[in-house]
Amino acid sequence: MNRSSSRASSGTVLVVEDQPAVARALMLLLDIHGIDAEAVTNAEDAVRAVGRGDIDVVVQDMNFTPGATSGDEGMALFRRLRQVSPGIPVVLLTAWTSLENAVQMVKQGATDYLAKPWNDEKLLTIVTALLESRRGERERRSSRAALAKSFDLRGIVYESAAMHRVVTLALQVAAADVPVLITGPNGAGKEKIAEIIQANSPRKKMPFVKVNAGALPDQLLESELFGAEAGAFTGAARLRIGRFESANGGTLFLDEIGNLSSAGQMKLLRVLQNGEFERLGSSETRRADVRLLCATNADLGDAVRRNTFRQDLLFRLNVVDVFVPPLRERREDILPLAEAFLSSALRKSRSRAERFSEEARNALREYAWPGNVRELENRVQRGVVTAAAETITVDDLGLAEQPPAVHAPASDEKLQLENLLLESGGSVSVVAKTLGISRQALYRRMERHGIILERRPKE
């Protein structure tokens, strides 16, 4: 069918249905609500249509051969579509006899399923939400490409809206020569954000010096930052030039700032106020023109309340706060990051591994990632080293026996899920988006609590 530019801009749905009457009903429903759609009747045409790259959502029947009821055809098509376009959302239409296959496909990455006869309102809710999400992805992709042309993004890999906001904010504050506090859990990518800020700042051609405050004892940290005269303390056999002096005119990135001692905090505050400091063991005042970027996984506000961190220093550091969310809250980034780490690892290895298995991809998406991006990189490197074939498996990644994310108490969680499903009219996509988890993870929670949707008796 012909597509107007306004309708096409909102996305296109592919209906895969071999029964003409059912296909017409779906097309009419979508057309009435201003959703551009096209229909095909078989798997080959569906694969070709998705291969064009202009399909945003697939609504797929589970059976294409007259009399077929098992859903095997639908499972085979779904796998082919995922090979052609790994991220494309697929909504399954299923009869009771192929319901279990549909549930299994959702666990393997399908978006959602509806039992026939479907509920029009529920179908429209799911499709509209998916089209909106895909439109957001296109806009972010376009914006990210524009940013990459104009700025140095230091090779950062992301797809999520959450990280797009972080990167955009980092670029905004880069030109402002003020301290920045980068917060977030360990391994989330705080150092990468610091690199982006420095690389796009007026000081980008000047020194960029990094110090991990969490890796040094108090006395050594002070000497590391401010320098030390020979004999200033036991073991100080020679003059040490501090990082502030080394970074003069440029940028100093101080990681784990919450570990700085009281004396170190006082000295740091003085540097921020007037640029002055003394080396350990010296009374000579020195000056340094340094932009300070700090990072921490600690709650510095709580540290102030416990009198372990100076409030006036926090005010100085926290001119701009850039929060980097944990990986579990930006699951769209998991597979792109994994693919990037795989490519990097393969360049340094003679491994036969070339790709992740579909089960491994699902495991990567669903794992809780307590170690965040750093853990993801380590597990991919493990997979490359241990893989015995071209495909990296769940066992290769060490994820076969890993627990899922920590959930709320069972009784509370079940009640929450039931209420959300009721409010959304039974839309798994909407509830998953509300909870900030994937649809596959939501189905696992529902299965654990015995929550079943759309089950109808056999006819």
Asked if the domains 161-326 and 330-397 are classified in one and the same CATH topology, the answer is no
Domain covering 161-326, topology: Rossmann fold (3.40.50)
- Predicted confidence pLDDT, tens digits, the chain (459 residues): 434 334 444 689 999 998 899 999 999 999 999 999 999 998 999 999 999 989 999 999 887 666 555 567 888 888 899 888 878 899 988 875 556 777 777 777 788 888 888 889 989 998 998 998 888 888 888 888 899 899 999 999 998 889 999 999 999 999 999 999 999 999 999 999 999 999 999 999 999 999 988 777 776 888 888 888 887 777 777 888 889 999 999 999 999 998 888 888 888 898 888 888 888 888 889 998 999 999 999 899 999 999 999 999 999 998 999 999 999 989 889 999 999 999 999 998 888 888 999 889 888 988 989 999 999 999 999 999 999 899 999 999 998 766 554 444 444 567 778 778 877 777 877 787 676 666 666 776 776 666 766 543 333
Radius of gyration of the chain (CA): 27
Q: Give the C-alpha separation, 221 to 232, whole Å.
A: 13
Q: Is 296 helix (H, G, I), strand (E, B) or coil?
A: strand
- Residue 25 makes CB contacts below 8 A (sequence gap 6+) with none
Strands of the sheet containing 291-296, edge to edge, are 208-212, 251-255, 291-296, 180-183, 320-323
Query: Which residue shows structure tokens 């980097």?
Result: 324
Q: What is the largest CA-CA distance in the chain?
A: 91
* Element (DSSP H or E) covering residue 87: none
Number of H helices, E strands in the chain: 20, 14
Q: Give the C-alpha separation, 338 to 313, whole Å.
A: 38
Q: Give the C-alpha separation, 292 to 318, whole Å.
A: 11
Phi-psi region of 208 (alpha: psi -120 to 50; beta: other; left: phi over 0): beta
Kindly state which CATH superfamily the domain 5-137 is placed in.
Response regulator (3.40.50.2300)
Between 1.10.8.60, 3.40.190.10, 2.60.130.10, 1.10.1740.10, what CATH number should domain 330-397 receive?
1.10.8.60
Q: Give the C-alpha separation, 175 to 202, whole Å.
A: 6
The domain spans of the chain are: 5-137, 161-326, 330-397
Q: Give the C-alpha separation, 248 to 242, whole Å.
A: 10
